[in-house]
């Protein structure tokens, strides 16, 4: 299991309580309460168990996600897990929201599904497949950069047609033109909702021309990505 930035294993026993066996740091999960893990093994073969995990930075700007592999046998004192492998495994454009990505292991391969924003600001899916001795390129760029150059996070104060007024984390107001995304994102734009609007240009009235709108995690703004 995981919590925060730590992988933890528990030993099942006949006693009333589980016994914590070992834990080891990984990377900031970029979300709460942690990240998802998967365990694989070659049947009952000794030493073949591997813990797979997907983490992402929590700096609020980086979209990259990384696949990690740990030896499931703890060693040392205190007991920790030896990292066997790590590599870029995709991206998650909503830096202010949880990336609930679960690595899947089947037939000797590891599959990591994620998302990215295309040149028009639409969310697209991507799949990276990992296997022993693989040489193929990922389905798309394994670290997809944000297509937008500007972002504003805030609470929706009011909506007037395609114009949304936000209250930012500092208490100031900002306007966003959502005409390009209103049809797909209307459910996110109710009064009191917390959103992050992204776009590459600002209109003549000073409103950000949004090419993407996503839910902003949390209510206080502490977890929202920085405005830019």
C-alpha triplet 184, 94, 194: angle, nearest 5°: 70
In a domain, 228, yes or no: no
Same domain, 123 and 156: no
Under-70 pLDDT residues of the chain: 1-5, 11, 13-34, 57-62, 95-96, 119-121, 134-148
CA nearest to 58, candidates 87, 25, 21, 98: 98
Q: In terms of pTM, does the model score above 0.75?
A: no
Boundary residue ending a domain (131, 166, 199) = 131
In a domain, 111, yes or no: yes
The DSSP code for 75 is: B
CB 59 within 8 A of CB 40: no
Boundary residue ending a domain (104, 131, 158) = 131
Same domain, 53 and 112: yes
Q: How far apart are CA 139 and CA 42, in angstroms?
A: 27
* Number of domains forming the structure of the chain: 2
Q: Give me the percent of the chain exceeding a pLDDT of 90.
A: 13
In this structure, what are the phi and psi dihedrals at residue 54, rounded to the nearest 5 degrees? -120, 125
Residue 141 Rama label (left phi>0; alpha psi -120 to 50; beta): beta
The DSSP code for 146 is: P
Cα within 13 Å of Cα(185), Cβ side: 26
In this structure, what are the phi and psi dihedrals at residue 121, rounded to the nearest 5 degrees? 90, 5
Summarize pLDDT for 173-208 with one digit per residue, the tens: 999 998 888 777 777 788 999 988 888 788 778 888
In a domain, 140, yes or no: no
Same domain, 71 and 111: yes
Same domain, 126 and 36: yes
The DSSP code for 138 is: P
pLDDT of amino acid 142: 40
End-to-end CA distance of the chain: 35
Would you say the C-alpha torsion 181, 185, 190, 195 has a positive or negative sign?
negative
Would you say the C-alpha torsion 104, 68, 117, 97 has a positive or negative sign?
positive
Q: For residues 100-128, b (16+ Cβ closer than 10 Å) or e, as one string?
A: ebebeeeeeebbbbbbbbeeebeeeebeb
Torsion angle, alpha carbons of 219, 228, 162, 155, to 10: 10
Q: How far apart are CA 199 and CA 174, in angstroms?
A: 14
Same domain, 80 and 170: no
Same domain, 182 and 114: no
Same domain, 120 and 22: yes
pLDDT of amino acid 110: 92
> Chain-centre distance of CA 53, in angstroms?
12
The residue segments making up the domain with residue 199 are 150-215
Same domain, 201 and 117: no
Q: What is the CATH number of the domain that holds 193?
A: 2.40.50.140
Same domain, 122 and 10: yes
CB 152 within 8 A of CB 197: yes
Boundary residue ending a domain (131, 158, 188) = 131
In a domain, 222, yes or no: no
Same domain, 12 and 40: yes
């Amino acid at each position: 299991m995981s919590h925060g930035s730590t992988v933890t294993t528990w030993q099942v026993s006949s006693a009333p309580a589980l016994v914590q066996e070992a834990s080891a740091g990984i990377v900031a999960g970029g979300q709460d309460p942690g990240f998802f893990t998967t365990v694989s093994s070659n049947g009952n073969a000794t030493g073949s168990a591997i813990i797979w995990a997907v983490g992402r930075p929590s700096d609020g700007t980086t979209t990259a996600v990384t696949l990690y592999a740990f030896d499931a046998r703890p060693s040392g004192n205190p007991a920790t897990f030896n990292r066997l492998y790590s590599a870029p495994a995709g991206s998650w454009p909503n830096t202010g929201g949880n990336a609930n990505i679960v690595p899947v292991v089947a037939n000797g391969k590891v599959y990591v599904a994620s998302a990215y924003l295309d040149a028009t600001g639409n969310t697209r899916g991507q799949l990276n497949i990992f296997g022993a001795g693989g040489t193929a390129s990922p389905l798309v760029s394994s670290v997809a950069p944000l297509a937008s150059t500007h972002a504003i996070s805030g609470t929706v104060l009011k909506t007037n047609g395609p114009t949304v007024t936000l209250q930012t984390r500092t208490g100031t107001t900002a306007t966003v033109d959502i005409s390009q995304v209103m049809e797909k994102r209307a459910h996110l734009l109710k009064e009191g909702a917390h959103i992050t609007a992204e776009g590459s240009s600002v209109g003549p009235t000073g409103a950000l021309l949004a090419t993407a709108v996503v839910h902003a995690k949390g209510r206080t703004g502490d977890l929202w990505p920085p405005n830019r």
